[in-house]
Amino acid sequence: MPLGERLADLRRGFHRTFWIANTLELFERFAFYGSKAVLAVYLAEKVGLGPQVAGSLVGAFSGVLYFLPVLAGTLVDRYGFRRTLLACFGIFTVGYFLIGMAGLQFGQRITESVGRTPYMIAVLLLTAVGGSLIKPCIVGTVANTSTDKTRSLGYSIYYTLVNVGGALGPVLALQVRQNLGIEYVLIMSSVVSFALFLGTLLFFAEPPSREEKGSVRTMAAVLRDMLLVFANLRFMLFLVIASGFYILFWQIFYSFPFYVKEILHYGRFELLETVDAWTIILLTVPATAMVKGWKPIRAVILGFFIASVAWLMIPLAPTIPVSIAAMALFAAGEATFAPRFYEYIASLAPPGQVGTFMGFAFLPVSIGSFVAGPLAGWLVANYVRGGHPNTMWYVLSGIGLASTAAMVIYNAMVARPARQV
């Protein structure tokens, strides 16, 4: 078939709303990763909470944001993609502005009257609730606006744009921080979110409904399914061990910026935070192809090991080039780990419960963030600012290697015997 005809088939394979939804996702990731790149430093230094409180708050923020999609999918089913997206971008608009307001002169007086920590807890929680709505909306739209033949490509386009947003968002944040001030990065995210609200209002059409394939799930049904998953101890043990990977991942945003600023004396820390996303863009396809013939658990363990060892490079030669190389190696581990991780989750689900179990795929991301935040604050306070910065990386690598060993033991003593039953 000629290339032109193939491209025409691809265009016909996606509804117009598919492209609008992915464009919205791209710019939402600009706003999210731009704010994420500076949030820990902003809370610690501009708002004045210090690294330990700031670490706990940013960890809880992402933890809530990645846990709630399990419940948010019910809202999408009940109220539709368009209205849920409008709610998401509306909450983001208000939430990001209120976070940034704490760094503005007039906002500081309001923050002080409420109390800096209670104020930030409230506005971060509000923003996280809005953020939890985006994933079921966009992923669901991709599923509903593509055909069986193009759906795989549709998800590839979606994940690529997520990583492009992760790569470019911090770069935009750097420009705003240097020219206007760190608090204006959050204001920028608010402005982008408002533009996305208007874009959704004007251009986003409700995707074709799949309601006829089954009744809309109620919140009670979702909670029953959650209890069903929690009762599967083999599955929950795997998720808890896997969360060790994300304890390492979140350090890119929680502790690494402090290390870069205060130990390596490199002010443009946002640029180094983009190395992971750029490497993922380049390596995900070849890394997946390389381990395609492996069992998913083997690829998960290898990716875990590579990511854990990556952080050992930094204390051996604490320089900017080595830090970039360590980040790239970590991303290579992530590119090996992540695709097969989701495949393995699907394989653990009992027949007829794949959708329910896949809804918990983000739980390790959430658990990892809840742990990584306070851990990052402790590491910065005790090692980066305590005179032993290299120890931080030994601690993190040790956590990763211990989690890798736990995954090996899990496979040998829990997963493998279960497969033989």
User: Is residue 14 classed as helix, strand or coil in its secondary structure?
Assistant: strand
189 and 269 part of one domain: no
Full pLDDT tens readout for the chain, 421 residues = 455 555 555 566 688 888 999 999 999 999 999 999 999 999 999 999 999 999 999 999 999 999 888 777 777 777 888 999 999 999 999 999 999 999 998 888 889 999 999 999 999 999 999 888 888 888 888 878 887 777 767 877 887 888 899 899 999 999 999 999 999 999 999 999 999 999 999 999 888 765 555 556 666 777 777 787 788 888 899 999 999 999 999 999 999 999 999 999 999 999 999 999 999 888 877 877 787 788 888 989 999 999 999 999 999 999 999 999 999 999 999 988 887 887 788 777 776 666 667 678 888 999 999 999 999 999 999 999 999 999 999 999 999 999 999 999 998 888 766 555 4
Identify whether 1 is part of a domain: no
Identify whether 341 is part of a domain: yes
254 and 399 part of one domain: yes
Identify whether 114 is part of a domain: yes
CB 196 within 8 A of CB 28: yes
41 and 101 part of one domain: yes
Identify whether 209 is part of a domain: no
Identify whether 56 is part of a domain: yes
CB 167 within 8 A of CB 176: no
19 and 152 part of one domain: yes
Bridge partner list, 146:
14
**Distance of CA 169 to CAs 175, 269, 278, 375, Å?**
10, 13, 12, 25
CATH label of the domain that carries residue 80:
1.20.1250.20
Overall domain count for the chain: 2
276 and 174 part of one domain: no
* Among 202, 218, 239, residue at a domain's last position: 202
Identify whether 2 is part of a domain: no
Range of the domain at 388: 226-421
186 and 327 part of one domain: no
Length of the chain: 421
Identify whether 218 is part of a domain: no
232 and 184 part of one domain: no
33 and 105 part of one domain: yes
385 and 253 part of one domain: yes
182 and 280 part of one domain: no
139 and 104 part of one domain: yes
242 and 386 part of one domain: yes
Identify whether 219 is part of a domain: no
- State the DSSP code for 104: S
Answering whether pTM is above 0.75, one says: yes
User: What secondary structure does DSSP assign to 280-333, as a single string?
Assistant: HHHHHHHHHHHTTTS-HHHHHHHHHHHHHHHTTHHHHS-SHHHHHHHHHHHHHH
Cα–Cα distance measured from residue 227 to residue 383, given in angstroms and rounded to the nearest whole number: 40
Determine what percent of the chain falls in helix, strand and coil, rounding each to the nearest 5: 85, 0, 15
* Among 202, 234, 251, residue at a domain's last position: 202
